[in-house]
């Protein structure tokens, strides 16, 4: 029998700390404490060679249930639609107008953080409402 494995979600991005802080706000995640021997992440980054400063950042679920998220700096920008995206489960268990109102309220909160609302998909005979969005560097995700 195969055992369940933990996983992390990795994002390529231009500004890892900025994107990590955005996702902390979206998900209620936190930045981990800085490495041993450093009072702050700025102190840690200052100890690195210039080309390595700010090269990555992490955010994690404070309860330990959700996956760790890792953000790594890459030189190229995003050029195509994500092949994988996150569904942020803001409307779980809700249906109809109540679900749509909850999703729209969460959308407004995330837009204030720098997200972009791309499309509001209203419920039909087969699917409940969801909202397609982009994070602060253009990575697509859904409010579901």
Summarised one tens digit per residue, pLDDT across range 87-136 is 999 999 999 999 999 999 999 999 999 999 999 999 988 889 999 999 99
**Planar angle of CA 57, 63, 69, nearest 5 degrees:** 25
Q: Of 118, 121, 123, 144, whose CA–CA distance to 133 is shortest?
A: 118
As a whole number of angstroms, the distance between CA 106 and CA 21 comes to 17
pTM: 0.90
Long-range contacts of 122-129 (CB under 8 A, 24+ apart): 123/95, 123/96, 123/99, 128/91, 128/95, 128/99, 129/91, 129/99, 129/100, 129/103
**Per-residue pLDDT tens for 34-80?**
999 999 999 999 999 999 999 999 999 999 999 999 999 999 988 88
Query: Nearest 5°: phi and psi at 88?
Result: -90, 115
As a whole number of angstroms, the distance between CA 113 and CA 88 comes to 15
Q: Of 120, 97, 93, 125, whose CA–CA distance to 107 is shortest?
A: 120
Q: Of 119, 92, 17, whose CA–CA distance to 59 is shortest?
A: 17
Spatial contact of 126 and 97, defined as CB atoms under 8 Å apart: no
């Amino acid at each position: 029998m195969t055992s369940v494995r933990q996983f992390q979600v990795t994002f390529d991005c231009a500004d890892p700390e900025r994107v990590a802080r955005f996702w902390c706000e979206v998900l209620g995640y936190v930045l981990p404490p800085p490495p041993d021997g450093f009072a702050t992440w700025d102190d840690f980054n200052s100890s690195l060679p210039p080309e390595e400063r700010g090269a990555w950042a992490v955010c994690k679920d404070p309860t330990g249930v959700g996956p760790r998220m890792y953000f790594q700096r890459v030189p190229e920008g995003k050029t195509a639609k994500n092949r994988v995206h996150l569904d942020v489960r803001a409307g779980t268990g809700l249906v109809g107008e109540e679900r749509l109102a909850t999703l729209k309220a969460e959308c407004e909160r995330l837009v204030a953080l720098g997200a972009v609302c791309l499309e509001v998909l209203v419920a039909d005979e087969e699917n409940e409402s969801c909202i397609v969005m982009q994070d602060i560097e253009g990575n697509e995700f859904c409010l579901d």
